[in-house]
Amino acid sequence: MVTAKDIPGKNCISLILDDQPCLAAETVNHPEEPILLLAHADCRMLRKAVDAVSIEYEPLPPVHTMEESERQSTIIWGTDNAFKSYLVEKGDVEAVWKDAAHIVEGEYFTGAQEQLYIENNGVIAAFDPEDGVTVWGSLQCPYYVHKALMALCGLPEDKIRVVQMETGGAFGGKEEYPSMIAGHAALLSIKSQRPVKIVYDRMEDMVATTKRHPSRTRHRTAVSKDGQILGGEIEFTIDGGAYATLSSVVLSRGTIHAGGPYYWPSVRIRAKAVATNTPPHGAFRGFGAPQSLFAMERHMDHIAQVAGISPVEVRRRNFLKPGQTTTTEQTIREDIDLDHLLGRALELSDYAAKKARFAEENRSGMRKKGMGIAAFLHGAGFTGSGERYLNSLVGVEAGADGGVRVLVSSAEFGQGTNTVLCQIAAEALALPYEGVMIARPDTTVVPNSGPTVASRTAMIVGTLVQSAAQGIKQTLMKTGLLGDNYTPEQFRASCGQFIRTHGALKSYARYEAPGDVYWDDEKYRGEAYAAFAWAVYVAEVSVDLTTYAVTVDDFVALQEVGKVLHPVLAEGQITGGVAQAIGFALYEKVVWQNGRMINNQMTNYIMPTSADLPPIRVFFEQLGNVHGAHGAKGIGELPMDGPAPAIVNGVEDAIGVRFRSIPLLPEDVFEALQPEPPRQQGPSSTRGTT
Amino acid sequence: MNPSPGTGTKCQILFTVNGEARKVLAHPMERLLDVLRNDLALKGTKEGCGEGECGSCSVLLDGMLVNSCLVPVVQATGASIVTIEGMSAQALMIPLQEAFLECGGTQCGICTPGMILAAVHLLEKTPEPAPADIREGLAGNLCRCTGYQQIFEAVAMAARRMVRK
Amino acid sequence: MRADPAEFRLVSPGDLQVVLSLLASEPTEWLPIAGGTDLMVLYSAGKLPNRKLVNIWNIPELRQIEVFPDTIRIGAACTYTALRGHDDVSREFPLLAAAASWTGGIANQNRGTLGGNIANASPAADSLPALLVYDAEVTLISVRGNRRVAYRDFHQGYKQTALAADELIRDISLPRRFSGYVSHARKVGARNAQAISKVCLAALGIIANGAIRDARLALGSVAPIPLRLHETERSLAGKKIEPSLIGTVRQSVEREIRPIDDIRSTARYRAAVAANLVVEFLEKLATERTRA
């Protein structure tokens, strides 16, 4: 039995701030907060042990919504319930209103979303007085867990070993939470002096672990009479839950993406992550961008209506062009042509013809059809100076038999990391793909190449793998063991010779920030990302007026992600991301009751099955880019950003209702079509239409 | 078998697993899933939800696709069970495996054992499935990575290759 | 897995009479288990109240589908797969075959049984509205003998049934007199597969001389039990399907049902969709008539 008193080190889950305790000592700040750990050799005895524990709570006033948190009548975190706020200011926003032909306002909401990896969180921890703590687990970021366990166990670096095992899906859901469950297993193992396994069941996993941050975005935009954005104000707020965890960085990405792929001559973005008494919200594919981009892309359709132009035209007139600057005043140096992307997406989706046909057909019948567009961007890698702080290190080693091994802490959990990194190393060494292996991410074996997040692996880690692999080649060439043009056999022979003479053959590469990159953390200004991926998605939807259900009938996903390293894996990232985003838009609703998810089962938290998804047609355009291994940019998160606004834009096209909130469930469509308001509002209803 | 063993009594259960006769001593209400994983060390059968929603624990029980989390082990007495580990002996496995690889039908892999068994169950009954048959046949198996499309393509490809043979 | 198997008994006599004696010996103690698609979910969640279970999956007489001149008799432990795959059932009782195809995925259809769906008594069960409109009869069996209960009298309240503690459902009989009817089945769930109904409709109708001769309507998930819409049916008898009728029918459906707000949907939504489904059925009936 372990309580906070048994913690040898600091009682926290060390991440950005150390505010989240590993075990609550005096106060619980959300309903699922751990207090007491129990372990038994026969896990089936544990239910009885749990039944024998009683905890008396003295209730304190809770805060369950962003609005309550902002009112600050009850303070539950810090001095003002705010984990973090940012202010982005470009140009003189105050000057734009007077010249505006239209001032367009809108408020948009997105809900929490569960990652719903099919394998729940699970770890095994073992303690040895000599070697310290070893943890094997289903996780994304071995070095996050490593850092957290050092603090918690009060042990030095070399007494903590973290090994990532085959991980059955993650999507961000195993970015920060594994530090919690690993901490619990480690504490139990230290106390019991035995290995301890913890595997959550589905109900535990859904109720207690992180979800996508719910968000609210307010836009107030000055628009010229021909539909050009003159400037505007954006207020972006996310619900962080009870502890800071990653909210500040999720907020950061959401803030930087809030202006979409458009040129804003001036803008003011105020962003805030607020505390509520729910389990902390956390990383989930897209990381704040799907939230603020949902708002931006819905708002663009609204601007189009007010300005009396089409959704296509409003985007054309506002797209960022090379040489222009983003909201953080990052100059677009990539040779991006969004107009061309849009044109191509419209062509691939047969947009114009279908839109016209649906407008005609929608005059009768119970099935109304519509077309929706979303244009967006996604920054690859860590935000701003993040990559500089990470200071990632990558290794490549060759054995005496010429076998090459890539040493990275970047984890495979379905994205194809292992394949792509081996492919990059093989190409750099002019070896067949089969000649390169990747080491299991084990902190005693691999250097810290940073966390496996933020669409950074192929681009940032891939580039480092490429240069580390080239390092091996150069070493062999410098020692005269290898010539310019070599065969795999000659490579093998030279490795053997080198190792016999000089010992181990290893090469490391460390991240070096490009010299010309400028980022100001204080003013939130400068080069936010080394590269952006760009996309235009088109959704064909139908609304069934018998059931009020929205179905996506066809989906075109066109993107520019630089060089596509592995077409099959890249397509899989896009189809999978689009599917998750369709869930985000139309199916997946977390039902909250007093800060607790009450539909924490796969039966009543609804993710799409194979019978619910449209054909997802994936296309890549390559417009030339200088970043990344062989010119690859990040790809993993991009497809999460666009589908929700494209779909809801399509719904508006079909039935003329301006929905501002997702998930958009049949019940919401129904209510919006009723002449009279509902008899009573739902408990946490912030949704609505205008 | 003793018709009325008392609470807490384990019983001996005989069945065939992947073509081999096996004997286990288990509580009758033990889930087939747990017996496969814990008593027989067949870890290829996965638990995703424990309530028959996700299909990760799919196995073939006398040729029928079932969720092994919902089968009390006593009901498998005398049955023939095929798990993913037993698939290597099946003619369908090679084309399915190749097609899953070629089409990107597997990402994280956790749903794959169940998907393969669902696909086998489908193709044995419907060797030339229409797209709608594939959708329906796999609808009880949730995948969070792929969006299913590459899995459909893989199953269709395997079916075409089998029929051609 | 939140249950401890050591605390449960599961006996498997493989013989109907032994099962019945067991049920009679300690009434209310023993819970029959067939395909386990409902009970095992409760069990794993640690929510199954019973500690003693008796296996009825391996009893051959409960797994048969028998076709007689006037009825089809379906063994209680017949699976949805068996129902879907049975030619006579599919042809003459399409509403039941459709309901079977909606239930869970293929793996659950291979294990879920019609008798289990009835005994479990969920108001959201997909097969039950079909049984209502087909005038199904349920045979209950115990050591005391057999008795037949009209299915409409079987479900008496939320999760309450006519089943005595020592009884087992043996079979379900369907009279073979609905093949001339136009039928319409629709399930509205949160997704297209693996979903629990928010509303589901089973409807039969027949037109004579341009007017509705007989309409039979039943809905799931709109009341504590699967509901037959007798009032609405009466209001339809003898009427022509015209726009004016649609409005009346809508009101009548909404008057008859008693939907609630729950984790899956809202009462308002259920009421509106229930009415829409009935209207959709009437429109289909009207089209079939013009085609005929």
**Residues in A lying within 8 Å of B, measured between beta carbons:** 115-120, 166-171, 201-202, 413-416, 568-569, 571-572, 575-580, 601-603, 607, 609-611, 613, 615-616
Q: Which of C2, C7, C12, C43 to mutate to probe the B interface, most B CBs <10 Å?
A: C12
DSSP code, position C173: E
Domain count, chain A: 3
Given CATH 3.40.50.720, say whether it is the number of domain B11-85.
no
Alpha carbons A421 and A194: distance in angstroms, whole number: 36
- CB within 8 Å: A609 and B103: no
Whether residue A315 contacts residue A227, with contact meaning beta carbons closer than 8 Å, is answered with no
Q: Is residue A532 part of a domain?
A: yes
Q: Which residues contact A533 (CB under 8 A, 6 or more apart)?
A: A377, A378, A380, A455, A559, A560, A561, A562, A633, A634, A635, A638
Residues A235 and A343 in one domain: yes
Residue A72 forms part of a structural domain? no
Same domain for A299 and A273: yes
Q: How confident is the model at residue A625 (pLDDT cuts 50, 70, 90)?
A: low
On whether the B90-164 domain is CATH 1.25.10.10, my answer is no
Strand partners, C206: C214
- Both A308 and A375 in one domain: the answer is yes
For residue B99, the chain A residues in CB contact (below 8 A) are none
CATH architecture of C60-175: 2-Layer Sandwich (3.30)
Could you list the residue range(s) of the whole structural domain that residue A404 is in?
386-510
pLDDT value at position A518? Answer: 85
- Please state the domain extents for chain B: 11-85, 90-164
Question: Has residue A361 been placed in a domain?
Answer: yes
Q: Do A414 and A372 fall into the same domain?
A: no
Query: Measured between CA atoms, how close is C77 to chain A, in angstroms?
Result: 24
CA distances from A375 to A539, A641, C21, C153 (A): 12, 9, 69, 58
Q: In chain A, what percentage of residues exceed pLDDT 70?
A: 97
Distance CA A142, CA A452 (A): 9
- The interface predicted TM-score of the complex, written ipTM, equals 0.96
Burial of A488 (0-12, 13-18, 19+ CB in 10 A): middle
Q: Is C206 exposed, middle or buried (0-12, 13-18, 19+ CB in 10 A)?
A: middle
Q: In the prediction, which pLDDT does A513 show?
A: 83
The closest alpha carbon to C138, from C114, C157, C158, C109, belongs to: C114
pLDDT digits (tens, 9 = 90+) for A566-579: 999 999 999 999 99
Tens-digit pLDDT profile for residues A106-116: 999 999 999 99
Contact (Cβ atoms closer than 8 angstroms) between residue B66 and residue C112: no
Judge if A158 and A234 occupy the same domain: no
pLDDT of residue A687: 36
Per CATH, the homologous superfamily of domain C182-291 is CO dehydrogenase flavoprotein, C-terminal domain (3.30.390.50)
Same domain, yes or no: A611 and A535? yes
Average pLDDT over residues A179-195: 98
The burial class, CB within 10 Å (0-12 / 13-18 / 19+), for C26 is exposed
Mutate to test the interface with A, among C38, C263, C280, C287 (most CBs of A within 10 A): C263
Q: Is C215 buried (19+), middle (13-18) or exposed (0-12) by CB count in 10 A?
A: buried
A579: in domain: yes
Tens digits of residue pLDDT in A223-277: 999 999 999 999 999 999 999 999 999 999 999 999 999 999 999 999 999 999 9
Evaluate whether residue A367 is within a structural domain.
yes
* Exposure on the CB side of residue A11, measured as CA atoms within 13 A: 14
Average pLDDT, chain A: 95
Closest CA to A609 of C195, C37, B132: C195
CB-CB: which of B49, B109, B145 is closest to A602? B49
CATH number at residue A167: 3.30.365.10
Q: Are A656 and A359 in contact (CB under 8 A)?
A: no
My answer on whether A591 and A494 are in the same domain is no
Distance CA A156, CA C288 (A): 79
Point out the residue among A416, A601, A611 whose CB comes nearest to the CB of B139.
Answer: A611
- The per-residue pLDDT for A81 is 98
**pLDDT tens-place string over residues A457-516:** 988 999 999 999 999 999 999 999 999 999 999 999 999 999 999 999 999 999 998 777
Chains contacting chain C through 3 or more C-beta pairs under 8 A = A, B
| C-alpha distance from B30 to closest chain A C-alpha (Å) | 12
Looking at the domain assignment, is residue A680 inside a domain? no
Which helix (H) or strand (E) is A423 found in, with range?
helix A417-428
Domains of chain C, by residue range, sit at: 5-55, 60-175, 182-291
Q: Where are the alpha helices (DSSP H) in chain C?
A: 16-25, 39-44, 80-85, 87-92, 94-102, 106-109, 114-120, 128-133, 230-236, 243-256, 267-291
The last residue of a domain, from among A173, A200, A227: A200
Element (DSSP H or E) covering residue C145: strand C145-150
The full length of chain A comes to 690
A368 and A436 share one domain: no
In chain C, residues with a C-beta closer than 8 Å to the C-beta of A550 are none
Residues A282 and A419 in one domain: no
By C-alpha distance, which of A373, A440, A458, A410 is closest to A650? Answer: A373
**pLDDT tens digits, B78-92:** 999 999 999 988 888
Q: Which residues of chain B have pLDDT under 50?
A: 1-4
A101 in a structural domain: no
Cα distance between residue A627 and residue C38, in whole Å: 54
Do A233 and A287 fall within a single domain?
Answer: yes
Distances in Å between the Cα of C34 and the Cα atoms of B62, B77, C20, C48 are 16, 14, 14, 15
In a domain, A608, yes or no: yes
List per-residue pLDDT tens for chain C, 292 residues long: 999 999 999 999 999 999 999 999 998 899 999 999 999 999 999 999 999 999 999 999 999 999 999 999 999 999 999 999 999 999 999 999 999 999 889 999 999 999 999 999 999 999 999 999 999 999 999 999 999 999 999 999 998 999 999 999 999 999 999 999 999 999 999 999 989 999 999 999 999 999 999 999 999 999 999 999 999 999 999 999 999 999 999 999 999 999 999 999 999 999 999 999 999 999 999 988 655 4
- pLDDT over 80 at A4, yes or no: yes
Nearest beta carbon to residue C191 from set A599, A608, A674:
A608
Residue of A653, A683, A682 lying closest to A668 (CA atoms): A682
